[in-house]
Amino acid sequence: MSVYNFCAGPAMLPPEVMKKAQSEFLDWQNLGVSVMEVSHRAEPFLTMAQQCEARLRRLMNISDDFAVLFMHGGGRGQFAAVPMNLHLDDAPAVYVNTGIWSDGAATEARKYTDVVELNVRDDRDGQFGVTPVAQWPLPEKASYIHYCPNETIDGVELFDVPRHPSAPIVADMSSMILSREINVDDFDVIYAGAQKNIGPSGLAIVIVRKTLLERQGLPRPGILDYAVEAKQGSMYNTPPTFAWYLADEVFKYLEEHGGVPAMQRHNKNKAAILYDYIDSSSFYNNKVDKACRSLMNVPFWLNDERHNERFLALSKQAGLLALEGHRFVGGMRASIYNAMPVAGIEALVTFMDEFAKEHG
C-alpha cells in the first residue's frame, strides 16, 4: 500500500532525496564518514554550503543585493530575530494579522519592540476572507511591515505583495517558499523554517537585503544576529549541518525537476483537483474565500462533523496520514507541499468520495 503523508510540518520530503541521503548516510563524498561527522569549517562541507547558497539563489533568482543566511531556530526563532534586528527607536513594527501564524509573530515581537497589529481578516457568514492587499491601511511610519503570505493553519494564501514607500517588507514564507514564483526584489526580508518545503526542522533560511544589515536594532544573541551571520557565512557557531546538507539535496532535486516554475504548475494542479472535488461535494466544505485559498494547506470540514473520528481512522488505514485539522480550526487539513505527488491527491479524493458515499 502506498502511504501519503499530509502532515503540515515536519512534512514529507521528496522520496528520491530521502533515498539519496540514506545511500550516503554512513559515507558522504567517499570520506568514510557521515556529513554529520565532519567539520563545518573543512573543505567538503564549505563547498557544499557554497553550492547550496548558489542553488537557492538560482532557484529564487536572488540578486547580490541580498544576503542568504542558514540559521538556527526555525520559523519562531525568526519571530524573535526580526524585531531584534530591525527595531527602530522612533517607529513601531507593523504586523498584518491574517491568521494564526502572523498573530503569533506579532505576539513574539511585542516582547522586544513596539507593535501595531493590523487585522485584515474579513470573515463573513462563516467564510474566511482577507481584505485585498492593495487596500490594507498601512501606516506611514513603520520600522518594518511583517506579513505571512501563507497561513499554514487557516489555509489562507495571499498572492499579492504589500508595498510601502519606506518601510521594509518582511515575509514569513515558512509554508510556501519555493512553491510558486515570487519576485524577491519585492521584499526586504524573507524567512522560512525549513520543515515544510525544504528539509529537516530547526533550520531557518533568511534572505535579507544587505542594506538592512546596517541597522543597529536591539542587543541580541549572536545566533540571531543577521549581520554577524552574514559576516561569518552562517557559521558564527556550528550550523545545523545535516539539515543544511539535506536542504542542498532538495534544492538539487528542484533544479533537476524544472525549478520553481514547474513546482508552481504542479502545485496549482494538485490544489485545483482537491478544491474542485470539495466544492462539488455536498459532504465536505472549505470555508476559505476562493481569492485567498492556499495552494499548500487545504483545510476542509465534513458537513456532519459526527463522522470526523471515523474519517480519520479510516483514512489512516488507507495510508493517508496526518489529515487531522489544527486544533484551533478543527476539521481536516491536507498539506500538499512540493513533495506531494499528484497520485497522493488522487488517492485522497478517491478515499473522500468513497467515504462520502458510505456515510452520506
Ligand X SMILES: *Cc1c(COP(=O)(O)O)cnc(C)c1O
User: Of the ranges 72-80, 158-166, 212-220, 346-354, which one interacts with ligand X (CB under 6 A)?
Assistant: 72-80
252 is catalytic: no
- Active-site option among 28, 136, 154, 172: 172
Told to check if 179 binds ligand X by CB under 6 A, we report no
How far CA 274 is from CA of 291, 302, 329, 353, in Å, comes to: 16, 14, 19, 11
Site for ligand X in 287-316 (CB under 6 A): none
Nearest Cα to Cα of residue 294 among 222, 168, 196: 196
196 is catalytic: yes
Nearer to ligand X, 326 or 359 (CB): 326
Annotate 21-49 with b (16+ C-beta within 10 A) or e (fewer). Answer: beeeeeebeeeeeebeebebeeebbeebb
Nearer to ligand X, 82 or 91 (CB): 82
Find the shortest distance in angstroms from Cβ 340 to ligand X: 16
How far CA 144 is from CA of 92, 97, 99, 162, 175, in Å, comes to: 8, 14, 19, 12, 21
Indicate the helix (H) or strand (E) that contains 279. helix 259-280
Told to check if 101 binds ligand X by CB under 6 A, we report yes
Find the shortest distance in angstroms from Cβ 9 to ligand X: 5
244 is catalytic: no
301 assigned binding-site residue: no
195 assigned binding-site residue: yes
| Separation CA 8–CA 297 (nearest Å) | 7
Told to check if 201 binds ligand X by CB under 6 A, we report yes
Burial of residue 227 (CB within 10 Å: 0-12, 13-18, 19+) is middle
Among 76, 110, 316, 326, binds ligand X (CB under 6 A): 76
Residues that bind ligand X (CB under 6 A): 9, 74-76, 101, 148, 152, 172, 174-175, 193, 201
* Active site amino acids: 101, 172, 196
**Annotation: binding site for L-glutamate:** 41
**Annotation: binding site:** 41, 75-76, 101, 152, 172, 195, 237-238
